[in-house]
Amino acid sequence: MEGPNVLGRRVKTERARRGWTLARLADASGVSRAMISKIERGQSSPTAALLGKLSAALELSMTELLSPAEGAVPDRVRRAADTPDWTDPDTGYLRRQISTPGFPADVTEIVLPAGARVPMPAASYAFIAELIWMLDGRLTLVEGPTRHVLTPGDTFELGKPQAREFVNDGPEECRYVVVVTRKPTP
């Protein structure tokens, strides 16, 4: 999760691995061919919502999409200064990757600035199970007409795939941990 060049290479690698053209990925994700091309060339840093669409189309978690496709086996100890992160250029939404790529669950710390709203498409939840654990602040998780307000110590297990919006309508940033595992394939 080291920036647009890692992301661009990962998107291009995953697209090529599937034998997909830019048009095929654009159709599957709802993201324009021009934008995908810019991302692959490292000329654009996508928003969290756009990453959600690409991850859904490629059936990769956002963590997998933001991580290099292959790499050295990481040390068991990773110092805070070496923890990879990514920031949404529109909202300031920050993802800090806590677990390493080989760990069986994606563990990510999220910092959502006051006033930020991050929508995620239903398809991004089709192949994963996700748990949210609130650390600081207040998060409103919107699922259709239902609003779940989470405060420090609360946990929430996301259910069936549906469009969701993560909203920080409080006066200060909120911070939470997201734990993601891949659902077994039938």
Q: Domain boundaries in the chain?
A: 4-66, 82-182
Per-residue pLDDT, 75: 66
CA gyration radius for the chain? 16
Instruction: Check residue 81 and report its DSSP letter.
Output: G
Q: What is the pLDDT of residue 2?
A: 44
- Tell me, what's the pLDDT at 186? 56
Q: What pLDDT sits at residue 4?
A: 47
Cα–Cα distance, 129 to 127 (Å, whole number): 7
pLDDT digits (tens, 9 = 90+) for 61-96: 777 777 765 554 556 777 788 788 889 989 999 999
d(CA 13, CA 43): 17
Q: What letter represents residue 42's amino acid?
A: G
The domain defined by 82-182 folds into: Jelly Rolls (2.60.120)
Res 74: pLDDT: 59
- Residue ranges of the chain with pLDDT lower than 50? 1-4, 72
Q: Which CATH architecture has domain 4-66?
A: Orthogonal Bundle (1.10)
Distance of CA 44 to the CA centre of its chain: 17
Nearest one of 155, 150, 153, 184 to 169, comparing CA atoms: 150
